[in-house]
Amino acid sequence: MTEFKVGDKIKRVKESDWPEEHGVLGEVYTVLEISPTTQGPVVVAGCGGSYSHAFELVKEEEKPVVEFKVGDRVRRVTTSYYPKEFGVLGEVYTVLQAHAGGGGIEVIPGYRGASQSAFELVERQPPEYEVGKPYLWFGGDCPLPEGTAVSVRYGTKDMSVVNRCWASTENASTKSWEHKFSTVNIVMFQVISYPVPEPVKRSVTLELTEEQLEVIEDVLLKHSV
């Protein structure tokens, strides 16, 4: 017999003679209360009680951990045993240091062990590279948003040899920014333009009376003539 606890997500796996009170087959509910009786444990999931053997536990998928970057604004979403060092629940902080691979972040100076999973992203700061200004590049992940038009110069890893010509692309993400090769590596770049965000599309559903619909149709017919 499966043992549930309050707060578990459970799915009804057996038909009920009174589905409105005891759960519909295939529907998912939250355990509100567990009441031991002489007939066995009863799971309260909805309006009434039902035997636990009529349900199965729903395993919630783990949410992927967001990889934060220095400069990101993040909010603490779990309680910390050491809030002065790793953040107060509900407060917003700026990421001061971040370790790749889901490692700890620093949101309070001097304390680097805050768990990334304890925070949610509030605002991601765009890379601060000026359009038209050349920058040296020493290898790593692409520093620019996808869709950024950029010009690059190639050369050796140690920059002892650098091409004199610039090569342009409309999407920085299509280039290899890691220094994997002995000669052909990006060693300089300059932003041509950043991607323009698409306008937010909003839809509104209106409930109209027959009288209002008649008025709208009348207006449309007049303008269509």
pLDDT digits (tens, 9 = 90+) for 177-200: 999 888 899 999 999 998 876 554
How much is the pLDDT for 143? Answer: 87
Separation between Cα atoms, residue 203 and residue 216, nearest integer Å: 18
pLDDT bracket for residue 68 (50, 70, 90): confident
Which range (29-33, 144-148, 167-171) has the least confidence?
29-33
Residue with tokens 């700890």: 104
> In the predicted model, what is the mean pLDDT of residues 107-123?
87
The token pair that represents 168 in the structure block: 């342009």
3-state secondary structure of 121: strand
Contact call for residues 57 and 2 (beta carbons, < 8 A): yes
pTM summary value: 0.38
Q: CB within 8 A of 16, min separation 6: which ones?
A: 22, 23, 24, 25, 50, 54
